[in-house]
Amino acid sequence: MKYLICVLVLLTHPVIAKERIISAGGTLTEIIYALDKQTLLVGVDQSSMYPQQATQLPQVGYYRDLAAEGVLSMRPSKLLVLEGAGRKQALKQIEATGVHVIEYKKPTSVDELFLLIKHLGKDLNASQNANMLITEIKKSLPKASQNDSHSALFLLSANERGLVAAGQETVPNLLFNYAGITNIAAIHSGFKAINTEVLAVQQSDFLVAPAHVVSSLGGKQAFCEQPQLRLLTAAQQCHLLVMDSLLSLGMSPRIATAINELNEYKSSL
Nearest to 73 by CA among 52, 53, 47, 93: 93
Band (119; pLDDT cuts 50, 70, 90): very high
192 burial class (0-12, 13-18, 19+ CB within 10 angstroms)? middle
Please give the pLDDT value at position 7: 39
Q: What percent of the chain has pLDDT over 90?
A: 85
Comparing 202 with 148, the larger pLDDT belongs to: 202
| CATH (one of 3.40.50.1980, 3.60.15.10, 3.40.1710.10, 3.10.20.30) for 150-268 | 3.40.50.1980
Count other Cβ atoms within 10 Å, centred on residue 188: 15
Asked if residue 191 has pLDDT above 50, the reply is yes
Contact 165, 191 (CB under 8 A): yes
Range(s) of the chain covered by CATH 3.40.50.1980: 21-140, 150-268
pTM of the model: 0.86
Asked if residue 207 has pLDDT above 90, the reply is yes
Over residues 215-258, the pLDDT tens digits come to 999 999 999 999 999 999 999 999 999 999 999 998 999 999 99
Please give the pLDDT value at position 6: 45
Render 103-149 in DSSP notation, one character per residue.
EEPPP-SHHHHHHHHHHHHHHTT-HHHHHHHHHHHHHHPPPPPS---
Please give the pLDDT value at position 269: 92
In single-letter form, the type of residue at position 240 comes to L
Cα–Cα dist 250/245, whole Å: 8
Band (16; pLDDT cuts 50, 70, 90): low
Cα–Cα dist 172/210, whole Å: 10
Structural Rg of the chain based on CA atoms: 22
Helix (H/G/I), strand (E/B), else coil: 162: strand
CATH class (in words) of the domain with range 21-140:
alpha beta
Please give the pLDDT value at position 180: 93
Instruction: Provide the mean pLDDT of the chain.
Output: 92
